[in-house]
A and B are shown apart, each in its own frame.
Chain A
């Protein structure tokens, strides 16, 4: 069974900081990895999808990297804002089309 681990489980930072969220996976045959944001009581919003053949993807202040050899992905958030406060989840896709999710990192950005 594949496992996905996200560290830290929770993070509180002042506005303006750059921060890194970590995602580790055990699937050596990963096909792609997707990062999501979830606000309380809501569904998941897709942020970035990075293919196994790619090293990184960028969208605005977000940058996701993928290192298959070490089984790690990171989500970098530049110049954090209070509106970035949410839970961030990663999910890895192997070849089975069944994603495995981590438990998420709960982020609070305070003014």
Chain B
């Protein structure tokens, strides 16, 4: 399968715990995006990388959110001290080189904070 993959698909955690999600993009894509989606809403942009450089992170929801892409391949999104309001679908997308920026999404990670 050469599409975008995300792991885990579902995560249930207790309030205050830290969680980390992984995204593996399409191999030849250099841009990688993280979004959050809540019920009835479109994806909300969080951050994106071009290769290993994080080019926009001001829209991460709080300082509890951080993302890395250390070798320009897979990426991780970490949420520290989770809150019930963090419950959502977290989506990853990748896009290739060039100006089209056509986005290809993974299946998402559904986070439930109890």
Residues of A that sit less than 8 Å from B by CB = 4, 31-32, 34, 36, 41-46, 49, 51, 89, 91, 93, 96-104
Number of A-B contacts (CB under 8 A): 63
Contacts of A31 in B (CB 8 A): 99, 101
Report whether over half of chain A's contact residues are helix, strand or loop; otherwise say mixed.
strand
Given A41-B89, A42-B108, A46-B105: 17 more A-B contacts, CB < 8 Å: A43-B6, A43-B105, A43-B106, A43-B108, A44-B103, A44-B105, A49-B100, A51-B100, A91-B103, A98-B56, A99-B33, A99-B101, A99-B103, A100-B45, A101-B42, A103-B41, A104-B42
Most buried by A among B41, B43, B45: B43
Report whether over half of chain B's contact residues are helix, strand or loop; otherwise say mixed.
strand
Q: How large is the interface on B (under 10, 10 to 19, 20 to 34, 35 or more residues)?
A: 20 to 34
Partner of B101, one of A41, A45, A93, A101: A93
Partner of B42, one of A42, A93, A102: A102
CA distance A98 to B56 in the complex (A): 9
Contacts of A51 in B (CB 8 A): 100
Interface positions, chain B 68-114, Cβ under 8 Å from A, are 89, 91, 93, 95, 99-108, 110
Partner of A99, one of B41, B45, B89, B108: B45
